[in-house]
Amino acid sequence: MISLTLADMASITRGRLFHPTGEVIPEMVVSGLVDTDSREIGPGDIFVAKPGEFTDGWNFIADAYAAGAVVVVAERESSIAIPHIIVDDVVIALADLAREVVARVRAGGELTVIGITGSNGKTTTKNLVADLCSRLGPTVWPKASFNNEVGAPLTMLRVRHDTRYLVLELGASGVGHIALLTDIVALDIGVVLMVGLAHAGEFGGMESTIIAKTELVQGIRAAGTAVLNADDPNVARMAENAPGDVVWFGRGSAATVRASDVDTALDGTTFNLHFSDGETLPVRFPVLGEHHVMNALAMAAVAEVLGAPHALVSDVLATTSRAERWRMEVMGGKGVVVINDAYNASPDSMAAALRTLARVGEPSQRRVAVLGEMSELGEFSGDEHDAIALLVVRLNIDVLVVVGAGARRLFISSINEGSWAGESVFFESADEAYDYLMTILRDDDIVLVKSSNSAGLRFLGDKLGEAFAC
């Protein structure tokens, strides 16, 4: 964080200074990192004692102090001998502090703020854009998927006066969530990847999802640029909400930054990348899955807005090792290849992963799909699991292993659609599925493990990957 006095912080957060000994020093300057996790605190840092659903950060003030914290932001006093800033709501205080810090950095420097949202692909695109920007100047971006009302402000608070780029991943589980974040910091560049049924149950339907994602475009500054997916009609319509220029990316002719001749294999994806000025570059993108090409195109479109050289875009893509942990992560290799894509699962990403499984490798290789529940679909859940079952059959996947009660309908529908005799099996637990898979897998098999995060199959994927590691 930039340097602020305790008095500044108290004023910005509308809090009051407190110290158990009464020895608070308003002129004391702090400039460390800000975090809500006491385990991440180091010397000189600021600890935010956030109440949570299962635990309360207030209980960890002593741990943060022992780790080197110099001030705590909390909703009530403690007896720990550390300066306190007592606020009514620490989440609101975080937002207020982030708003002021980013505003001061913007006023005194050349900060460009880039926000990314979409039903799928946010984290992968964020990583690509962050890689690009970090080669152009000092860049701040979220660790993991810090994209909510707590994670986004924590990321914003890492900017300093020399920061050139702030890359934000903006998530939402309801209308108004993204607007809340863009109210903290308006965007110079706003990227919308796609609108799908991910979290549709929480949003209350597709129309509410569209409204929520449109908030990112509405949160772009007057002179800013919207980077939109030309292939998704729901995203394309957001152009009417853009306050300024629009740059289009996609596979179709309407896109100004587009891809052609896409080919995917187990060692990655190749395609021709077409820029708006007519230049075309061949790209080898070492990330498995044709659907990740759209994330690459989004990054290339951001690069055009920033004026980055085309060769730099190509190099960023060529040197990317993987999308992200548990996202189309290729493991194993000792006879069996495991594709662990079980960090999340929506109908769109599930279908894309299955199509990738069907296309990679040699025709003689057996394809095994290990699938769990697609969560947070609400009233759409049954129909969408039915649709995935039908896709598995139509793609001629050789073996289907369904895991968990939440995905049982997928198993039943696959049998009804395909009239399989033994090629589709169901297990209540991941351990049961693992034991079964270890008895049937053979050399040259390709195994896809895919589910929502809550189903926990990513750990099954890790276990299979380790079992067949080279």
Q: Which of 84-88, 289-293, 440-444 has the lowest mean pLDDT?
A: 289-293
Closest of 11, 97, 92, 96 to residue 46, by C-alpha: 97
Nearest to 189 by CA among 242, 135, 119: 242
* pLDDT on residue 172: 81
Q: What is the pLDDT of residue 447?
A: 97
pLDDT tens-digit readout, 208-240: 889 999 999 999 999 999 999 999 999 999 999
pLDDT at 435 over 90: yes
More confident residue, 55 or 6: 6
C-alpha dihedral sign at 388, 390, 395, 397: positive
Band of residue 57 on the pLDDT scale cut at 50, 70, 90? very high
Band of residue 78 on the pLDDT scale cut at 50, 70, 90: very high
- Interior/surface letters 128-156, b for 16+ CB within 10 angstroms, e for the rest: bbbbbbbebebbbbbeebbbbbbbbbbbb
**Domains defined for the chain, CATH in brackets:** 4-88 (3.40.1390.10), 93-318 (3.40.1190.10), 329-467 (3.90.190.20)
Nearest to 101 by CA among 12, 27, 178: 12
Q: Residue 152: is its pLDDT beyond 90? A: yes
Q: What is the pLDDT of residue 146?
A: 82
Confidence at residue 203, expressed as pLDDT on a 0 to 100 scale: 56
Task: Name the more confident of 203 and 390.
Answer: 390
pLDDT of residue 470: 67
pLDDT in tens, 400-414: 999 999 999 999 999
The whole-number average pLDDT for the span 81-86 is 97
pLDDT recorded at residue 161 = 96
Q: What is the mean pLDDT of the chain?
A: 93
User: With 70 as the cut, is the pLDDT of residue 290 above it?
Assistant: yes
Confidence of residue 307 (pLDDT cuts 50, 70, 90): very high
Give tens-digit pLDDT for 248-275: 999 999 999 999 999 999 888 999 999 9
Model confidence, pTM? 0.89
* pLDDT of 200 over the 80 cut: no
Alpha-carbon distance 164 to 112, whole Å? 6
> What was the pLDDT predicted at 324?
65
Q: Is the pLDDT of residue 417 over 60?
A: yes
Averaged pLDDT for residues 436-461: 94
Which residues, in sequence order, are CB contacts of 447 under 8 Å at separation 6+?
Answer: 332, 336, 337, 338, 339, 368, 369, 370, 437, 441, 464
Confidence check: pLDDT of 204 > 80 = no
Q: What is the pLDDT of residue 323?
A: 56
In this prediction, residue 77 carries a pLDDT of 97
More confident residue, 312 or 422: 312
Query: Is pLDDT at 394 greater than 80 in this prediction?
Result: yes
Give the pLDDT confidence score for residue 422 in this predicted structure: 66
Q: Strand 71-74 relative to strand 84-86: parallel, antiparallel, unpaired?
A: parallel
Residue 199 confidence (pLDDT) above 60: no
Query: Is the predicted pLDDT of residue 201 greater than 70, yes or no?
Result: no
pLDDT digits (tens, 9 = 90+) for 22-33: 888 999 999 999
Least confident of 37-51, 191-205, 239-253: 191-205
State mean pLDDT over 313-342. Answer: 86
Q: Is the pLDDT of residue 13 over 60?
A: yes
**pLDDT at 144 exceeding the cut of 80:** no
Average the pLDDT over 185-207 and give the result.
79
The pLDDT of residue 132 is above 80: yes
Residues 447-453: what's their mean pLDDT?
Answer: 94
